[in-house]
Amino acid sequence: QSALTQPPSASGSPGQSVTISCTGTSSDVGGYNYVSWYQQHPGKAPKLMIYEVNKRPSGVPDRFSGSKSGNTASLTVSGLQAEDEADYYCNSYADNNNLVFGGGTKLTVL
C-alpha cells in the first residue's frame, strides 16, 4: 500500500485561505468516503480535524473544511491564524482493511 501523495509544504498569510491536496487511488481515497485529516504540532500527538471527507469533530473551528473529487481529497483552511501552523496528514481507509496516510504537508503562516 503506497502512501497518499501530499505537497510537502503550503503557506499563506494570516486571514488567507490555503488548500492542501491528498491524492490516492480507487483502492483508497477514490473508493471510500473515509478520508480524515490530522493536525500535528511539533512533539505532540496528531489531532483529528476532519473525518469522513467533510465532517468536523466538535471543537474544531469551521475554518477547517474537507472535500473529495475522484481520487483526490482536499483540506481547506480559511481565515488562516498563527496557531494553524503545523503539519497536516490525510488518511484513508483502503482495500483489505488497511489504512494509509499521506506523506504530510507543513503549513506555514507567513
Partner 1 sequence: QVQLVQSGAEVKKPGASVKVSCKASGYTFTDYYIHWVRQAPGQGLEWMGRINPNSGGTNYAEKFQGRVTMTRDTSISTAYLELGRLISDDTAVYYCGRTRVHFDSWGQGTLVTVSS
Question: What residues make contact with partner 1 under the rule CB under 8 A?
Answer: 1, 3, 34, 36, 38, 40, 45-48, 51-52, 57, 87, 89, 91, 93, 96-104
Beta bridge partners of 42: none
CB of 80 to partner 1, least distance (A): 22
Q: Which is nearer to partner 1, 13 or 43 (CB)?
A: 43
d(CA 109, CA 86): 9
Q: Which is nearer to partner 1, 45 or 82 (CB)?
A: 45
Q: In terms of DSSP bridges, do strands 9-12 and 105-109 run parallel, antiparallel, or are they unpaired?
A: parallel
34 phi, psi to nearest 5 deg: -125, 55
d(CA 16, CA 11): 9
Q: Which is nearer to partner 1, 48 or 76 (CB)?
A: 48
**What does DSSP assign to residue 2?**
P
CB of 11 to partner 1, least distance (A): 19
Q: Which is nearer to partner 1, 2 or 69 (CB)?
A: 2
